Amino acid sequence: MSNFTISPSPHIHSGDSIEKNMYGVLIALIPAFIFSIVFFGIGAILVTLTSVVACLIFEFIIQKYLMKQRPTVWDGSAIITGVLLAFNLPSSLPLWIVIIGALVAIGIGKMSFGGLGNNIFNPALVGRVFLLISFPVQMTSWPVPNGFSTVDAVTGATPLAIVKEAVKNGQSVTDALASTGLSSSNMIIGNMGGSLGEVAAIGLLLGFAYMLIRKIITWHIPVTIFATVIVFAGILHLVNPVHFADPLFHLFTGGMMLGAIFMATDYVTSPMTHKGMIIYGVGIGVLTVIIRVFGAYPEGMSFAILIMNGFTPLINRYCKPARFA
């Protein structure tokens, strides 16, 4: 009697794997990381390294000793969480705070739901928002980019915070921005205050292009977010240009690029159909602008994504793919 393997069809596999996708995302994050090192120097490297190592260690410990599973830390997902958490932090943040962020991201954001694939909210954002609420002072003192310069880093406000402050004081948005000397080319390159990975729009867009070519993600979520922000912020700007910044300003400042390209597109916490992705993207765009313009915080990307993460199961329930019929 022969000894052939028996299994149901299909008998071949594409060879795609969780690792290929996760490490693909990490490759896409490299350009932005290079920019952040150029702008923020050694601080960017230290914060990112600490965050990644802490995420890996926490995931390993929780899987091995609490969940009694075979640890799968090298699937790349914990590294992505680590990098994305770091990218959402100021490069001058004390490292012990980074470690607390990693613990919350992995422990509460991911493993408490059952690990990869089961979490409702984006783990890196759970960690980031936890830190923002718990350590508001450290989390909002932004070093001004000066690379590896030996001069002591100065801290300054982000463009979004400057605008928020101006509106509060009844100043014109344009005047406030002009006084900082921030040119639009600086904003696109990312030469401005902010979290270490969020400032370099060009680097992030390169990563977006890479992920599209490798078919790791589709265009639906990021493009819908951008379009919504342009339309919504554009209407506000047309109504009152003194009070509301122009849409391109919203597009290139704060966590817009990082959030739309890398955080909102997280497989696990975003909708399963293209229709659903568009609804989700519109929701994130609208909420971000509302929080930025009318809310207490200058930046709203993280909150908007987390809120829409919560809506994802509902969106999945009502958005079905186009059936064959």
Put residue 171 in one of left, alpha, beta given phi > 0 → left and psi -120 to 50 → alpha. beta
Min dist. Cβ of residue 31 to other proteins (A) = 23
For residue 169, state whether it binds other proteins (rule: CB under 8 A): no
Min dist. Cβ of residue 205 to other proteins (A) = 22
Q: Which string of DSSP letters, residue by residue, matches 17-83? A: -HHHHHHHHHHHHHHHHHHHHHHHTHHHHHHHHHHHHHHHHHHHHIIIIIS-----GGGSHHHHHHH
- Rounded (to 5) percent helix, strand, coil in the chain: 65, 0, 35
Exactly one of 113, 267, 297, 311 binds other proteins (CB under 8 A); which one? 267
Rounded Cα distance, 30 and 52, in Å: 14
For residue 155, state whether it binds other proteins (rule: CB under 8 A): no
Interface with other proteins: number of residues (CB under 8 A): 38
Exactly one of 45, 205, 272, 286 binds other proteins (CB under 8 A); which one? 272
Q: Name residue 176's amino acid.
A: A
For residue 64, state whether it binds other proteins (rule: CB under 8 A): no
**Which residues fall within 8 angstroms of residue 198, CB to CB, at 6 or more apart?**
87, 88, 204, 254, 255, 256, 257, 258, 259
**Which residues fall within 8 angstroms of residue 95, CB to CB, at 6 or more apart?**
46, 47, 50
When the beta carbons of 175 and 320 are compared against other proteins, the nearer one is: 320
For residue 5, state whether it binds other proteins (rule: CB under 8 A): yes
Rounded Cα distance, 230 and 237, in Å: 10
Min dist. Cβ of residue 96 to other proteins (A) = 31
Q: 3-state class of 142 per DSSP? A: strand
- Using CB atoms within 10 A of its CB, is residue 308 exposed (0-12), middle (13-18) or buried (19+)? buried
For residue 68, state whether it binds other proteins (rule: CB under 8 A): no
For residue 18, state whether it binds other proteins (rule: CB under 8 A): yes
* Cis-peptide into 94, omega within 30 deg: no
When the beta carbons of 171 and 273 are compared against other proteins, the nearer one is: 273
For residue 273, state whether it binds other proteins (rule: CB under 8 A): yes
Site for other proteins in 102-131 (CB under 8 A): 115-118
Min dist. Cβ of residue 215 to other proteins (A) = 9
Rounded-to-10 torsion of CA 272, 274, 278, 281: 50
Min dist. Cβ of residue 207 to other proteins (A) = 18
When the beta carbons of 9 and 149 are compared against other proteins, the nearer one is: 9
Put residue 215 in one of left, alpha, beta given phi > 0 → left and psi -120 to 50 → alpha. left
For residue 69, state whether it binds other proteins (rule: CB under 8 A): no
When the beta carbons of 76 and 207 are compared against other proteins, the nearer one is: 76
Site for other proteins in 75-94 (CB under 8 A): 75, 77
When the beta carbons of 90 and 276 are compared against other proteins, the nearer one is: 276
Instruction: Give how far Cα 282 sits from Cα of 127, 155, 293, 312, Å.
Output: 24, 34, 17, 13
When the beta carbons of 89 and 111 are compared against other proteins, the nearer one is: 111
Which of 49-57, 88-96, 160-168, 314-322 is the region at the interface with other proteins (rule: CB under 8 A)? 314-322
Give the phi and the psi of residue 3 in degrees, each rounded to 5.
-125, 60
Which of 17-25, 126-134, 141-149, 175-183 is the region at the interface with other proteins (rule: CB under 8 A)? 17-25
Site for other proteins in 196-255 (CB under 8 A): 218
For residue 9, state whether it binds other proteins (rule: CB under 8 A): yes
Residues forming the site for other proteins (CB under 8 A) = 1-2, 4-14, 16-18, 20-21, 72, 75, 77, 115-118, 218, 267-268, 270, 272-273, 316, 320-325
